[in-house]
Homo-oligomer: A and B are copies of this chain.
Amino acid sequence: MAEVKNKQVVLKDYVTGFPKESDMDIVEGTISLKLPEGSNEVLLKNLYLSCDPYMRILMSKMEGPEGFRTYAPGSPLTGYGVAKVLESAHPDYKKGDLVWGFTKWEEYSLVPASLILFKIKHTDVPLSYYTGLLGMPGMTAYAGFFEVGLPKKGEKVFVSAASGAVGQLVGQFAKFTGCYVIGSAGSKDKVDLLKNKLGFDDAFNYKEEPDLNGALKRYFPEGIDIYFENVGGKTLDAVLLNMRVHGRIVVCGMVSQYNLAQHEGVTNLANLIFKRIRMQGFNVADYYQLYPKFLEYVVPKIKEGKIVYVEDIVEGLENAPPALVGLFSGRNVGKQVIVLARE
């Protein structure tokens, strides 16, 4: 069998608190570039890997919340990526196909065909977009904003972690819908991006607003109709004070809480009653049947230059652990991607 070297990012041990680079190891394994006898799997060459905040949750030792499977120490991380099919035992895929879906943090992966989400059809866009704009984060922004948020023209929208993989799209979708949209992010540069490149009506640096409630009152004197929740904790508590009657809180993520042993307490939930608010969590995986509709919405806008997408691309698997860890200090500017190979 033709064995080749296969570099991997392996979880050393379960993580508590903030993840560190040293929680992961780069190890050199080997893999056969032939499908094992009787396999019904697909052999992938990984091109782009996606750094996603939820990966931190899988690094904890815990009974995973339903539907989640935590990582196993000693094994490579798993996650979303873009890959090329080298061999396939499954009729839906053939050698040379480009796909995006679940793969592993290594150069070559053998994965069940069921983990591949989609064959890539549009290749006249950067392939890396299938980890972001045209991949899971794009679908997350689309499903969360439209299907859960049910936005109406003229509504006031607030997005946290607004310059990130998901947030930057929510802001742009909000503008396409005729909403007024404000974003918060963790640095001056990100705020500039939001205002000058990503089309947000305004933006602020939450780290420079010790009084978040006051800041929101300034930016939303009439209150918030839709809050696209990416961070949780104190931000959510301040938002609850500033929601409008019949507002909606789209609970996409709570990245500020993932590293805490005990999550911060949210005290203003009685506003859900006073203001008849719908606060709804969702998982993008429940909406993948909308992917074709999403592409119809978004691909023409990309071609016409109406959508901007900011990526933060690092080269090589060695740089994957710091890139992943960097999500939790806001080191990434835009969608955090790792390139392993360009084709």
A319 to B: closest C-beta gap in Å: 29
Residues of chain B within 8 A (CB-CB) of A337 are none
Q: Name the B residues within 8 Å of A283 (CB-CB).
A: 273-274, 276
Would A67 and B232 be within 8 Å (CB), given that A265-B265, A267-B265, A269-B251 are in contact?
A: no
Other-chain residue from B257, B269, B279 in contact with A254 (beta carbon distance below 8 A) = B269
Residue contact A273 to B281, C-beta cutoff 8 Å: yes
0/1 interface trace, chain A 275-292, chain B, CB 8 Å (1 if under): 111111111001000000
Query: A263-B267, A264-B267 given as contacts; is B280 within 8 A of A254 (CB)?
Result: no
A66 part of interface (Cβ distance < 8 Å): yes
Docked-complex contact A268 and B263, CB < 8 angstroms: yes
What CA separation (Å) do A343 and B288 show in the bound complex? Answer: 62
Question: Quick check: is A65 within 8 A (CB to CB) of the other chain?
Answer: yes
CA separation between A68 and B264, bound complex, in Å? 29
Residues 87-110 (chain A) with a chain B CB within 8 angstroms: none
Q: CA of A282 to CA of B247 in the docked complex: distance in angstroms?
A: 11
Could you tell me the distance between the alpha carbons of A269 and B275 in the complex, rounded to whole angstroms?
Answer: 19
Chain B contacts of A276 at CB under 8 A?
280-283, 286
Inter-chain CA distance A279–B148, complex, in Å, is 12
Flag if B272 contacts A66 (CB, 8 Å). no
Sample of 10 more A-B contacts, CB < 8 Å, known A264-B267, A279-B279: A67-B245, A252-B273, A262-B267, A265-B265, A265-B266, A274-B283, A275-B281, A277-B280, A278-B281, A279-B280
Binding site for B on A (CB under 8 A): 65-68, 232, 236, 245, 251-254, 257, 262-283, 286
